[in-house]
A and B are shown apart, each in its own frame.
Chain A
Amino acid sequence: MSASTSSAGAVFGGAIPGGTIPGPAKDPAVARALGRRRARFNVMVKGLCVAATVVGLVLLGSILLTLIWRGAAGLSLTVFTHTTKPPGSEGGLLNAIVGTLIQTAIGTVVGTPIGLLVGTYLAEYGRSSPLANAVRFVSDVLLSAPSILIGLFVYQLAVEPFGGFSGIAGCIALAVIVIPIVVRTTEDMLRLITPALREAAIGLGAPKWKVIVLICYRAALNGIATGVLLAVARIAGETAPLLFTSLGNLNWSVSLRQPMASLPVTIYQYAGSAFEDWVQLAWVGALLITFGVLAINIAARLVLRPGK
């Protein structure tokens, strides 16, 4: 701090005509040296920040390249037409892909309306009442809570009492993850809508629920859709909550009452195995899920763009 004050004084010291600056006279040589030191330090920090950003980008690049390099080698039609099979025989990932699609779809369909209603409650009804603040806080905690705990919770809730792992339990776990994401974006988007729009509708005699459903939802549609897409991207890649709920299934099964395969869980089982063809399939699965998730993310950003 002392360096910057003294040098600031030095900068003005010679420049103010006729005025004197209290305190000891500044030595221009020292001031210049200090200025150079500040500039050097500034350049150094800037360099480090650029380096940090480069490191971040390199890491992203490394992950994507590893996936493409390892995954593309095993990418073939059999991956999409065959189910998982014992090591050695030509297996694919069909059941895992279908399982992920089913569970993600049901999880989203169940979680979105609840999240939408909660977000509506927070933005339109509760606002800053004690109940709304509590709901907001709890929703935020759920948003960042470790997903493995949601798996344990749903295990206690829907697996143990009903005597077995099931696709339904997996869907419930994913829906629990969807809710807080949709709550957050819905509330934020509804709050962005100008009061004039609501007042105009109310002035025409529309009841509040119609104002919300027909006017506000429509105005906030882009943002809400973004939230839902981000939620889909998040749950499609979730592994931990499915380990104890839908468990994974090496056979073809689309029954929600049976254990159900999913890409992340299959990747987890295969990547740790000692069989080369299973590890290869794990890489293919990883490639599919990552690029799927990233594509949804980018799509979500494109949806939001016109609104911003």
Chain B
Amino acid sequence: MDIFHNMQLGFGVVFTASNLSYCFLGCLVGTLVGVLPGIGPMAALSLLLPVTFKIPPVSSIIMLTGIFYGAMYGGSTTSILVNIPGEAASVVTCLDGHRMARQGRAGAALGIAAFGSFIAGTLSNIGLNLVSPTLCSAALKFGPPEYFAVMTLGFVATIFMVGGAISKGLLMLALGLFVSTVGTDYVNGLERFTFGSMNLMNGFDSVALIMGMFALSEILMNMEEISVRTILTKKVKGLLPNLKDWQDSAFPILRGSVLGFALGVLPGGGPVTSSFLSYSFERRLSRHPEKFGTGAIEGVAGPEAANNAAVAGSMIPLLSLGFPSNPVTALLLGALMIHGVQPGPLLMVKNPEIFWGVIAAMYLGNIMLLLLNLPLIWVWIQFLRIPYWILFPLIFLLCAIGSYTSNSRVFDVWVMIGFGVLGFLFRKLKYELGPFILAMILGPMFEQALRQSLIISKQNPMIFLTRPISASLLAAALVLAVSFVLSRRKKAAALSLEGKSG
């Protein structure tokens, strides 16, 4: 009964002219971001963060969340029609989606991607609705040691889930932690790594830093790959999948929804991981695995459902624990904090309009996205024709404005440029940026939890192991780390054996 009452409150918040407009705008921009290759949801969120400074917190979070799940919808369009993923979570959609388009079934592929996304989005929203309040009540029992353990688990999971070399992931995490300590120490007022600069007294501005790391480095990467795209536009017909398509896709959509939702909740998981796992899962379950990669509709339905379900899943730890499970939700956490809202178990009590408003907006956003993505597919196809050199001045200007406006300082523009160059260097050398951003945003909370725990325990580190929740979370982190290291070693050994025999 409580849930219905709360959802009534949520829909009451969303059903105002301004919030409906922000929800629609978020979905629109998200779809655009998903459709356009070369700009992902992270870059778009960081670019648009300054736009939200002047609007109420609930509206800005509704809009930013809309961009996040809108990008998941839009990404499939580019994957299917151009064979270039609009964003990372749509990489696997290229494999079968584009094959379907080449066989003249682009409409069915686009249709099943949109319907699958809608179904998964709605199911996972229901999950979010049911799980979040329960987790919030449980999280009220959390003290600093438990928060420290949750964050440790999140860090470990992120390093291993994002892929790439473990040492590089750890390095990025440590760098993020270090960057988060720059500025005045909140406990004793001591300046850390400021080198006497007034500009660094409050640390690096997170907006400028994120913009540099994600948006500017992405533009720099795109400068290498400005290319002409071949778009399969003539074959887009029959957007409503037929009965056979539905029969083939129904279970992959349901399985993708469950898998995506579960992976979204887990620290380190998110849309990208879930879409890849869903694809391999479907191929393993299929009676005709050989069809995958040749235009199997299950290869589109499962991953597209999974990446959308993961969005709602990843909102659970963010809204209930104040803990982001992936880099995009870390950015949303940053946005909430910029607006003076502290996510966590008390969010539901202190700011119910934000908590329930965002959830209600996600239901509505899903409907808006279905309407935006199917009947308006021709509009998005036209956007695909826009050359990158037209978009890039806008991105350039948004970067300059965004980094300047949070503190009205030119210093932050330099910070953005510096971190942009660093981000470009890291991307080129295959360093994942996810662990950096997660550590940078969670760093102050991590440090606070560690210091408070050690003060409470009179400097006894055993506090983390004597409390059942923190001990089990730390044990989970250890098991995860060991199992990942072992599986990597196994893979490496198998590869070297193959190399020797080959």
Asked if A pairs with B, the answer is: no
